[in-house]
């Protein structure tokens, strides 16, 4: 148990120190600064801070993005279908699964956009970059969890059903014995009900 906790902490530390995570944090920081600057009294007293440009460099407080990157922090990649670009940097057609003026927005079939519209957060049990895939493993685990949740309830609802079924079966057998008995009586054959029951059970 302790090993598991240690391992989880370890993973957590690694995740926080990964460069990807760091740049996201920086973007978040910068964005909160931007919000401050929008307030008039801050604009006068503070000097403009250079923004963080993930795929580009800051010039006069604005990010100048590398080729095919866009966004206030050049954090969004364009996903154009061809090499063709308009003068404003947009492209005539986007790759499948992307949309937006600069093909910078990802399309999530069964999920929501996150992380500046560049990634999908999939609804279960969908997976894949565009949440358009169904993995057998994921489906199994999804339904297993559902069954696990329904388990106790399902069992309770099964009890009256079983009783009903067993009752029906029992009375049906009784009726069958009676019916066959009457039929045999009509033909002048005398058989004990118990014997008949035993005979019918073996059918
Ligand atoms: C860029 O230019 C093209 C062609 O002139 C135009 O259709 C498109 O709407 C423009 N996109 C943006 C984001 O301004």
Average pLDDT for 98-125: 93
Neighbouring C-beta atoms of residue 69, cutoff 10 Å: 21
Ligand 1 atom nearest to 101, measured from its CA: 13
13, pLDDT greater than 60: no
131, pLDDT greater than 60: yes
19, pLDDT greater than 90: no
The reply to whether ligand 1 has any atom less than 6 angstroms from the CB of 88 is: yes
7, pLDDT greater than 90: no
**Model pLDDT for residues 72-88, shown as the tens digit of each residue:** 999 999 999 999 999 99
Ligand 1 atom nearest to 89, measured from its CA: 1
Residue with tokens 């600064």: 33
Confidence band of 189 (pLDDT split at 50, 70, 90): low
156, pLDDT greater than 70: no
Which tops the pLDDT comparison, 193 or 33? Answer: 193
Which tops the pLDDT comparison, 146 or 107? Answer: 107
The reply to whether ligand 1 has any atom less than 6 angstroms from the CB of 101 is: yes
Spatial separation of the C-alpha atoms in residues 44 and 154, rounded to whole Å: 66
The answer to whether 114 and 120 are in contact (CB under 8 A) is yes
Which tops the pLDDT comparison, 198 or 160? Answer: 198
Neighbouring C-beta atoms of residue 134, cutoff 10 Å: 13
Calculate helix-pair angle for 2-17, 19-38, nearest 10 degrees.
60
- By most ligand atoms within 8 Å of CB, the mutation choice from 90, 100, 104 for ligand 1 is 90
91, pLDDT greater than 80: yes
Which tops the pLDDT comparison, 121 or 6? Answer: 121
* Range with the poorest average pLDDT among 32-36, 105-109, 166-170: 32-36
Name the burial class of residue 101, with classes exposed (0-12), middle (13-18) and buried (19+) by CB atoms within 10 angstroms of its CB. middle
Q: What is the pLDDT of residue 154?
A: 61
pTM over 0.85: no
Whole-number Å distance, alpha carbon 95 to ligand 1 midpoint, is 17
The reply to whether ligand 1 has any atom less than 6 angstroms from the CB of 90 is: yes
Q: Closest residue (by CA) to atom 13 of ligand 1?
A: 101
Spatial separation of the C-alpha atoms in residues 32 and 24, rounded to whole Å: 13
* Range with the poorest average pLDDT among 11-15, 19-23, 53-57, 87-91: 11-15
Q: Closest residue (by CA) to atom 1 of ligand 1?
A: 88
**Model pLDDT for residues 34-72, shown as the tens digit of each residue:** 444 444 444 444 556 788 999 999 999 999 999 999 999
């Amino acid at each position: 148990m302790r090993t598991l906790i240690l391992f989880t902490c370890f993973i957590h530390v690694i995740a926080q120190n990964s460069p990807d995570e760091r740049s996201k944090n920086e973007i978040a920081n910068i964005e909160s600064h931007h919000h401050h600057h929008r307030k008039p009294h801050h604009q006068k007293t503070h000097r403009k801070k250079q923004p963080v440009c993930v795929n580009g460099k800051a010039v006069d407080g604005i990010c100048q993005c590398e080729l095919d990157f866009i966004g206030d922090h050049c954090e969004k990649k364009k996903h154009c279908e061809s090499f063709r670009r308009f003068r404003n940097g947009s492209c005539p057609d986007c790759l499948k699964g992307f949309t937006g003026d600069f093909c910078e927005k990802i399309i999530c079939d069964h999920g929501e956009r996150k992380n500046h519209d560049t990634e999908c957060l999939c609804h279960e049990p969908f997976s894949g970059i565009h949440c358009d895939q169904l993995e057998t493993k994921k489906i199994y685990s999804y339904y297993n969890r559902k069954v696990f949740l329904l388990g106790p309830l399902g069992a309770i609802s099964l009890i009256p059903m079983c009783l009903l079924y067993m009752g029906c079966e029992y009375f049906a057998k009784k009726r069958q014995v009676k019916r066959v008995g009457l039929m045999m009586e009509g033909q002048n054959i005398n058989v004990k009900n118990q014997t008949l029951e035993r005979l019918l059970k073996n059918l």
